[in-house]
Chains A and B, each alone.
Chain A
Amino acid sequence: AQSVTQLDSHVSVSEGTPVLLRCNYSSSYSPSLFWYVQHPNKGLQLLLKYTSAATLVKGINGFEAEFKKSETSFHLTKPSAHMSDAAEYFCVVSAAGGSNYKLTFGKGTLLTVNP
């Protein structure tokens, strides 16, 4: 079984300040972890993924995430928020094991960026 908890449903930051979106996961197998972004009325786009290589993963648009097995966390960060980062972000876990090839999505974190 696997699950994802996004610790904040809404995060508000000012433009130019750091972004932290928190995600905890549980998985019975070695997980793959993803962050997806969804802009209003759009489909989801992959930001970055972790698949058991380097624990610090760099993605598009200056985002990065660190896999911490001891804390079962995969928090998303960005040093300086831009207005175009305003969107909903989903943390996702996938675990290859038995017949489990499905993604489990968190409930999402809405990021607001204030001018």
Chain B
Amino acid sequence: NAGVTQTPKFRVLKTGQSMTLLCAQDMNHEYMYWYRQDPGMGLRLIHYSVGEGTTAKGEVPDGYNVSRLKKQNFLLGLESAAPSQTSVYFCASSETGATNEQFFGPGTRLTVL
């Protein structure tokens, strides 16, 4: 099993450009999450999904959109990138919420110039 994979690993954007980050998991997990990690801030939840076709806002959702059209995939979109969105983005999945371990992908390092 590959676990949780993320595409791409690195990306540089110019302000105003758009892009989509792809997360895929092969563990048949119901829950999926997108986080951003910034120095000294820990991980902050952007959006999450509790099942196929559902999404919900996390702690820092502004400037991002998500879609969960298939159970195994969770897409994070930036419609108009801003320098403040320079960060490392992690996707995670879990069987259910709360008490279950979250499995993390390797991360995507995004720089917005």
In the complex, whether B104 has a CB less than 8 A from a CB of chain A is yes
Task: Let me know if B29 is at the binding interface, CB within 8 A.
Answer: no
B3-17 contact mask (Cβ, 8 Å, vs A): 1 or 0: 010000000000000
Instruction: Please state if A102 and B58 are interface contacts (CB–CB under 8 Å).
Output: yes
Number of chain A residues whose Cβ lies closer than 8 Å to a Cβ of chain B? 23
Chain B CB within 10 A, most for which of A46, A90, A102: A102
* 27 A-B interface contacts by CB (under 8 A): A9-B40, A32-B98, A32-B99, A34-B101, A42-B107, A43-B4, A43-B106, A43-B107, A44-B102, A44-B104, A49-B99, A49-B101, A51-B99, A90-B42, A94-B99, A96-B98, A101-B98, A102-B48, A102-B58, A102-B59, A103-B45, A103-B102, A105-B42, A107-B40, A107-B41, A108-B40, A108-B42
